[in-house]
Structure 1
Amino acid sequence: MKKRKKNFSGKGKWDKTPRPEEGAVKAKKHLGQHFLTDESIAERIAGTLGFSGYSKVLEIGPGMGVLTKYLLQKEAEVHVVEIDTESVMYLTENFPNLHGRIHEQDFLKYDFSGVFGKEQYAVIGNFPYNISSQIVFKVLENRQLVPEFSGMFQKEVALRICETHGSKTYGILSVLVQAFYEAEYLFTVPPSVFNPPPKVDSGVLRLRRKDNIELPCDERLFFRVVKMAFGQRRKTLRNSLKSFNLPDNVREDTIFGQRPEQLSTEAFIDLTLKIQPYAISDQR
């Protein structure tokens, strides 16, 4: 029996970086691929979904299916969306029970109403760092159909999404996500369990949609106010929202003397209600 050679890094240490198996997909830097190699973590991520009120799941960027196989053990109809042709070929060959449910598409551009119709479905994945924020915004656009969302992000992004007001890392994603979902940071994942290893820690979070996602203010204006406020986060709201040309008696309200990170999601809703009579809500 031929022994497997140990890999020497040339720096006086044995290189413990996991090597891809024969026939495995090569990670592509331009797609931000870092394949999870730790089975226990994959199983743990799959276990973050509660499967309450829905029976369909969409996994983003399954790669070689380390998370997929644990999702398939659940009582759910699993769909995967993958932009990498090589990964699609691997999944097609190794996961025959996914036949007809592998979508070779760009998640950010694809309309999944043709797949799920008006049915509820969860979204999960080991998300590429370079588009993770865009994935969150896409989920927010489809929040009426997505009751649960969980997965792995760069740790600082996951923490930012779950952060509460008063923190320097609290920002646009924090406010917009928490307006519609309960956000929970679950656990941290080290670089060593990926191939290739990223340069930073990863973090797994879970979002569960609130019972009531109807805002009492104009929704489009709410998004606009939040983005404008954090666009100049060092300024008070009186200055960052100056373009609304609010009357002096409105601008004198104490809320306008605060900075955006001081406002909770509920306070941003109140702020939007104060601005609403004077703003054009169909602009962002």
Structure 2
Amino acid sequence: MNHQPRKRFGQNFLRDGTVVRQIVLGIAPRPDDHLVEIGPGQGVLTEALLPLCGKLEAIEIDRDLAASLERKFSGDTKLRLHRADALKFQFCALSAGEKLRVVGNLPYNISTPLLFHLFAQAGCIADMHFMLQKEVVDRLCAAPGDKSYGRLGVMAQYYCRADSLFEVPPESFYPQPQVMSAVVRLIPHEAKPVDVGPELLGHVVAAAFSQRRKTLRNALKHLFDDGEIQSLGIDPQARAETLGLEAYARLARAFQEKQDNAIN
């Protein structure tokens, strides 16, 4: 497939057969699986997955690539191609009662907003396997106190269990990215690990990490005073990266209670 990679779509095509086989082993597709591939590109992973699954939906924004994929897989009835922007795509519309398994070599320039778009639809997703910039995978899998721990890590823990599977060097792609990559497995929780809504939690977490080098006293001063933070068993002198998901859930619930009391 002769295609000039387009920077605006963040295209770095996987060309290492060994890595493709590692990804397929990690996914371990079954004959009755309903797979969804984001950004199939030149179809390298698509070709490896098709014989092993029940059906595969592929979402490709590049019209030229979509046309090439249609020609390449024209005889395979398992594949349905969607010419669409994954950031706007309604994944749950593909589910007919069964859980989807989502895979892909995600464009690094949109990986974080795309992950949040998928988290919001996690109810119809069994698992996700993505190639991402290693730095993003580190952030997804980080624990409190880790240097990579931040807003993405907290919110990922709220929605999923995250496991880094293996790293992938730049030479596995064309063109070569300037960074290391890694493959991550994300398994949505059957039930959320904390009792708080995602918008409320996200608001408090974003506020805490908006001034990462500052203490919670300063980062959250527009939401809480010192006494309110201390009453939740949290040190106002602590920094955002030291708090776990459960502590952020306590803050979020307390903020909701403050809002409710102010209205009443």
| Corresponding residue number in structure 2 for 1:185 | 164
1:89-168 aligned at under 5 Å gives the runs 89-96=67-74, 97=76, 101-168=80-147
* Shift, 1:87, TM fit: 0.7
More displaced stretch, 210-219 vs 233-242: 210-219
1:108-151 Cα offsets, whole Å, 9 max, x none, are 01223433355421211011110011111011110111120111
Change (3 A) 1:218 1:129: closer
Residue 76 of structure 2 is aligned to residue 76 of structure 1:
no
Greater Cα offset, 253-262 or 161-170: 253-262
Q: Structure 1 pair 35/98, CA: closer, same or farther in 2 (3 Å)?
A: farther
1:221-267 CA-to-partner distances (Å, cap 9, x unmatched) read: 111111111111111222211222x3663133451331110011122
TM (normalized to structure 1)? 0.84
Q: How does 1:42-53 map to 2 (within 5 A)?
A: 42-50=20-28
Closer/same/farther in 2, CA of residues 200 and 100 from structure 1, 3 Å limit: closer
User: Do the aligned partners of 1:92 and 1:98 also contact (CA within 8 Å) in 2?
Assistant: no
Is the counterpart of residue 266 in structure 1 residue 212 in structure 2? no
Q: Is contact 2:131–2:184 with CA below 8 Å preserved after alignment?
A: yes
Q: Deviations over 1:195-242 (max 9, x none)?
A: 111111111111112232264123321111111111111112222112
- Distance in structure 1 (CA, Å) of the matches to 2:18 and 2:77: 22
Q: How many residues align?
A: 256
Unaligned stretches of 5+ residues in structure 1? 1-22
Query: Does 2:38 align with 1:60?
Result: yes
Query: Structure 1 pair 92/209, CA: closer, same or farther in 2 (3 Å)?
Result: same
Cα RMSD between the aligned structures?
A: 2.0
Q: Corresponding residue for 1:200? A: 179
Identity of aligned pairs, percent?
A: 36
Contact 2:24 2:48 in 1 (8 A): yes
Hey, which of these two has a bigger chunk of helix by percent? 2
Paired AA for residue 118 in structure 2: V
**Mean alpha-carbon deviation: is it higher for 154-163 or for 265-274?**
265-274
Q: Which TM-score applies when normalising by structure 2? A: 0.90
Report how far residue 48 of structure 1 moved: 2.0
Which amino acid in structure 2 is aligned with residue 106 of structure 1? D
State the distance in 2 between where 1:230 and 1:84 align: 35
Which is higher, the Rg of structure 1 or of structure 2? 1
Q: Is the 8 A contact 1:92 1:99 kept in 2?
A: no
